[in-house]
Amino acid sequence: MIGPGTGVRVYLGCGVTDMRKGIAGLSAMAQDVLRQKPAGGAVFAFRGRRGDRIKLLYWDGQGFCLYYKVLERGRFPWPNTASGSARLTSAQLAMLWEGIDWRRPDWGAPPARVG
């Protein structure tokens, strides 16, 4: 994904977001709902009702970037809370963007060798 590098702050807008919103509407949500400065360098993620669409809003220093992804199959993993926000790491954002469940990654030890 082209966009912010590692170490960026990431905020999820929990609950359902109207995916018809553009940059102005999503930046207003970042400010009013998430209580963050939209042009502060953080990434703001929003998911639609069906769960198969996600929008990321990011200020790159010159203007807002809006990333939009629609999954052909499956849903983006999302917190169960109806309102508020959640904070992610840049690694968790990368997993989210790929449709991987960032809440329960399989970081276990490799399987034991038999024989």
For the chain, give every domain's residue range.
10-84
In tens, the pLDDT along 57-113 reads 999 999 999 999 999 999 998 887 766 788 988 888 888 888 888 777 565 656 666
The encoded tokens of residue 20 equal: 């018809």
Residue-level pLDDT at 24: 97
29-36 contacts: CB < 8 A, separation 24 or more?
A: 30/57, 33/83, 33/85, 34/85, 35/85, 36/11
- pLDDT bucket at 1, cuts 50 / 70 / 90: low
CA distance 48 to 28: 17
The yes-or-no verdict on residue 5 having pLDDT over 80 is: no
- pLDDT bucket at 45, cuts 50 / 70 / 90: very high
Residue-level pLDDT at 91: 87
Residue-level pLDDT at 44: 95
- From residue 91, alpha-carbon distances to 55, 65, 85, 96, 105 in Å are 17, 19, 18, 9, 11
CA distance 50 to 57: 19
- Tell me, what amino acid is at 84? G
Q: Fill in the DSSP letter of residue 101.
A: -
- pLDDT bucket at 21, cuts 50 / 70 / 90: very high
